[in-house]
Chain A
Amino acid sequence: MMFYFASAALIAIGIYMLMVKKNLIKMILGLSVIDSGVNLLLISIGYINGKTAPIIQPGVSPSNVVDPLPQALVLTNIVIGVSVTALALSVVIRVYKHYKTLNSSEVRDLKW
């Protein structure tokens, strides 16, 4: 339960950053926080009480490991997350070079 609460709180704070903050880097930070929250949520859904990591070794029987599927998903998600963050930040750098501001409501070309 604690984990669900923690991930929900992270998602909420991330969305709050997106909704309230006008600074572009702050917004990307918010996305990053949402990312962490969603990862935590997926992993905690896959957790099974009293079982160990999904690595079959001598002494660990298949009936005694947690769900590996969400972990594989999250592994993918983390790598995608960093690449998307880097791409977004490089676009922000470009925007800053052009407009000399990070305030999203002053960047007029975002409006069509």
Chain B
Amino acid sequence: MIKRLVSIIILAVVITSLFMVLSETAPFGDDETVVSHRYIYKGVDETGSANLVTAVVLNYRGFDTLGEVTVLFVAATGVGAALYTRKHPVRKNKVEASLIVKTGSKLLFPMMLLFGAYIFVHGHLTPGGGFQGGAVIATAFVFKYISDTRYSIDHVGFTKMESASGMIFAGLGIMGLLLGGYFLLNILPNGTPGELISAGILPIIYIAIGIKVGAELTGIIDRMMGVEA
């Protein structure tokens, strides 16, 4: 009990000071920074992407995103390594899902996939993108796993898709290096901002990221589902 009290007091000190410092140095609702100024005013012209977040993530900070995807890949590999079993993992669900869930999943699963695809294809126009779309796809597979006790993803196919999409991302970067002199150069024309076919290579990258994130998150879920406790 005394431990809790002490920790609460310490936390109160730390958090209160954090709060006070924040309200003094960065008041809520204040103006944007200089870097963001450039992104906001030049972003659409320079990248062709209507969604400025996408412009930052894929164009200005595209290299970071490649690193982020790598981190995701390493984490998925780590999960696989930590949960490795000698036997091939087998799913063992004692309780079957109810008929409603089963039927609903059959109806909803393709729609969820479609929605995920929609999100990452339109990443440069509307809110959303490869990460969100990939997460939605992974959620669809979670749903499928819950409803169907015998369902298991095609591991080989998923691995191939994941590798292929990762290679597309890296390959586009190298192509920029070859054609224009620096990594991840936007080698395609920007087009008209606001149209589906616009913003150069950004939609292609986002599709690749969407597939990769979806495959990896699904792989993580599959790993955690499959191991016997």
Contact = CB atoms under 8 A, between A and B. Distances in A.
B83 A90 contact: yes
A72 B56 contact: yes
A50 B18 CA distance: 25
B53 A72 contact: yes
Greatest chain A CB density within 10 A among B68, B75, B125 is at: B75
B52 A86 contact: no
Contact of A93 (B12, B78, B83): B83
A37 to B, nearest CB: 10
Interface string A65-101: 1111101100110111011101101110110010000
For chain A, the bracket of interface size reads 35 or more
A21 B75 CA distance: 25
Contacts of A47: 28-29
A68 B131 contact: no
Interface residues of B, number: 61
B40 A62 contact: yes
Contacts, number: 146
A71 B127 CA distance: 11
Interface string B111-128: 000000000000001110
B126 A55 contact: yes
Interface stretch (B57-65, B88-96, B148-156, B165-173): B57-65
A90 B194 contact: no
A55 to B, nearest CB: 5
B144 to A, nearest CB: 18
B50 A68 contact: no
Contact of B3 (A20, A49, A75, A76): A20
A8 B127 contact: no
Given A15-B14, A56-B50, 8 more contacts: A16-B7, A20-B3, A56-B44, A57-B50, A65-B52, A71-B53, A83-B220, A97-B229
Interface of B: 3-4, 7-8, 11-12, 14-15, 18-19, 22-23, 26, 28-33, 35-36, 39-41, 43-44, 50-53, 55-57, 61, 64-65, 68, 71-72, 75-76, 78-79, 82-83, 125-127, 129, 131, 135, 193-194, 213, 216-217, 220, 223-224, 227, 229
9 contacts: A4-B19, A45-B26, A48-B31, A50-B29, A56-B193, A62-B40, A68-B52, A80-B68, A87-B79
- A-B residue pairs, 5 tightest by C-beta: A83-B75, A49-B29, A54-B52, A72-B56, A90-B82
